[in-house]
Amino acid sequence: MANFNKVMLMGNLTRDPELRHIDGGNAVCNMGLAVNRKWRDQQGETQEETCFVDIVVWGKQAESCNEYLHKGRPVFIEGRLQLDQWQDRESGQNRSKLKVVAERVQFLGGRDDQQGGGQRGGQQQGRGGQQQGGGQRGGQQQQGRQYEQQSPPNQGVDQPASGGGYDFDDIPF
């Protein structure tokens, strides 16, 4: 039987990214993401729930996330689920935690935009979030720019083919 482990999430960061370097100088960044869901109940009242997800990003992409992202910033994450299991040192109980290992992080909104949404001086057009017009804002970072994941060594993770983004009109939900 074939296996498939792919996650796509869009939400806002719950805290500032935390960057650290592990043995060999590999950068790893931990972030928290809040994803909201709204629906109407049987009485017609709007209900809302929030799902909080831990995100781990590796390599140059981790450094970019640490530099450009902050609490409240909207992002689109593509990645895979990973289950960490360990034994608690104090109680001896088995513990586990499900997290998302990001393979691609797309920054949404403007550089200083807390709420997301609008674009400054450009129009997004076509697939992959490419911009036309005066969309560059004083540096390397442009809205919708994507960074490919650099996996830590010996992880055996297949990397997604580079190029191409998503046209959100094609997503069926």
Total number of domains constituting the chain? 1
Q: Is residue 173 part of a domain?
A: no
Instruction: Return the pLDDT at 116.
Output: 45
Please state, in angstroms and as integers, the Cα–Cα distance from residue 103 to each residue in 6, 38, 46, 56, 72, following that order.
Answer: 10, 27, 34, 9, 21
Which residue range is the domain that position 144 belongs to?
7-155
- pTM of the entire predicted model: 0.63
Between residues 161 and 89, the one the model is more confident about: 89
Instruction: Return the pLDDT at 104.
Output: 96
Q: Is residue 164 part of a domain?
A: no
pLDDT in tens, 29-88: 999 999 999 999 999 999 999 999 999 999 999 999 999 999 999 999 999 999 999 999
Q: Is residue 171 part of a domain?
A: no
* DSSP bridge pairs for 46: 40
Q: What is the CATH number of the domain that holds 56?
A: 2.40.50.140
Contacts of 51 (CB under 8 A, 6+ apart): 34, 35, 36, 37
